[in-house]
Chain A
Amino acid sequence: MSSTKETFSQISPSEFFYRNRDLAGFSNPTRSLYTSVREFVENALDACDQKGILPDIHLSIKAVEKEQPDPKQYILTVKDNGPGIESKHVPLAFGTVLYGSKFGLKQARGMFGLGATMAILYGQITTNKPVTVKSNSDGKMQDEFVMLLDIQKNKPIILKHTTKESSKIGLSVSIVLEGDYSKAGTKVRDYVSQTSLITPYASITFEDPAGEKFHYPRIVKEMPPPPTIIRPHPHGIDVETIRRMIVDTHYQIPTVDNKMITKVRSELGLQKKNLNPKGILDRAEKRWSNLSRPVRTVIAMISFLNLDFDGLSKIRIDDLDIANKKLTYWNFGESQSHLVELDPESPYYKQLVNTVQGDTLHSFLTKRFQRVGPTTADKFAEFAKFKPEKRIGGMTNEELVKLSDALQKFEEFLSPDPSCLAPLGEEPLSKGIMKFFNPEFAAVIQRSASAYSGFPFVVEMGITYGGDIPPKGIQVYRFANRIPLLYDEGSDVVLKVVNELDWTRYKVKGETPLVIVSHICSTRIPYKTVGKENVADRPELERELKNALQYLARKLAVHMSRQGMADMAKKRANLYSKYVPLIAQFSTELSGKKKEPNYTQLIKKGSEIEDQQI
Chain B
Amino acid sequence: MKTSKSKATKTAELRKEKVLTLLQNHGLIMYNDLDQGKFPQFSIPSRSVSNIVYDKKLRQYILGNASALRSSKNMSQLRSFTQLAWLAFFANKLIREGKTSTLRDIYYSSQAFAIDFEDQPESDNIIVDLEAILTSAREEFHIFPEERSSVFGDLTIEYTVPGYEGKRMNLSDHPDGYLIGPSLSSAELVDTSAELVIAIEKGGLFTRFVEEKVHKKFKAIIVDTAGQAPRSTRYFLRRLNGELGLPVVILVDGDVYGEHIAMVIKSGSANAAHLRELTVPDAKWLGVWATDIEKYKLPTIPMTESDIKRIYELQKDPRYQEGNWKTQLEVFLKLKRKAELEAFSKYGLTNITDKYLPEKLELAKSL
Contacts and interface: CB of A to CB of B under 8 A. Distances in A.
B35 A598 contact: yes
A332 interface: no
A499 interface: no
A582 B34 contact: no
Contacts, number: 89
B26 interface: yes
Nearest to A598: B35
A580 interface: yes
Chain A, interface residues (CB within 8 Å), range: 20 to 34
A414 interface: no
A583 B75 contact: no
Contact of A587 (B37, B39, B85, B93): B85
A587 B27 contact: yes
Given A589-B89, A590-B88, A583 B34 contact: yes
Interface residues of B, number: 30
A33 B303 CA distance: 54
A591 interface: yes
Contact of A609 (B26, B28, B75, B89): B75
Interface in A447-494: none
Contact of B85 (A582, A598, A599): A582
A493 B40 CA distance: 56
Contacts of A410: none
Contact of B31 (A572, A593, A605, A613): A593
A397 interface: no
A587 B39 CA distance: 13
A579 interface: yes
A582 B115 contact: yes
B73 interface: yes
Contact of A580 (B24, B34, B115): B34
B79 interface: yes
Interface in B88-139: 88-89, 92-93, 113-115
B78 interface: yes
B34 A609 contact: no
Interface string A575-597: 11011101111111111110001
A575 B75 contact: yes
B88 A583 contact: no
Interface string B15-38: 000000001101110111011011
Contacts of B236: none
Interface in B183-241: none
B82 interface: yes
B269 interface: no
Contact of A605 (B37, B78, B85, B114): B37
B86 interface: yes
Contacts of B170: none
Contacts of A605: 37, 39
A602 B31 contact: no
Provide the main secondary structure of the chain A interface. helix
B72 interface: yes
Contacts of B82: 579, 582-583, 586
A264 B113 CA distance: 104
Contact of B88 (A572, A576, A582, A586): A586
A588 B28 CA distance: 8
A601 interface: yes
Interface string B310-330: 000000000000000000000
A609 B73 CA distance: 9
Contacts of B28: 587, 590-591
A610 interface: yes
Contacts of B88: 586, 590
B289 interface: no
B61 interface: no
Contact of A590 (B35, B73, B92, B113): B92
B81 interface: yes
Contacts of B81: 579, 583
Nearest to B37: A601
A549 B30 CA distance: 52
B27 A575 contact: no
A591 B31 CA distance: 7
A601 B146 CA distance: 43
Interface in B145-189: none
Contact of B37 (A582, A584, A602, A613): A602
Contacts of A584: 31, 34
A588 B33 CA distance: 12
Contacts of A578: 114
Interface of B: 23-24, 26-28, 30-32, 34-35, 37-40, 72-73, 75, 78-79, 81-82, 85-86, 88-89, 92-93, 113-115
Q: Which 6 A-B pairs have the closest CB atoms?
A: A590-B27, A591-B27, A601-B37, A587-B30, A586-B89, A597-B35
16 contacts: A582-B115, A583-B34, A584-B34, A586-B88, A587-B30, A587-B89, A590-B89, A590-B92, A591-B24, A591-B27, A593-B31, A597-B31, A599-B35, A602-B37, A602-B38, A609-B75
Given A590-B28, A605-B37, 13 more contacts: A578-B114, A579-B79, A582-B82, A582-B85, A586-B30, A587-B27, A587-B28, A587-B40, A590-B92, A591-B28, A597-B35, A599-B34, A609-B73
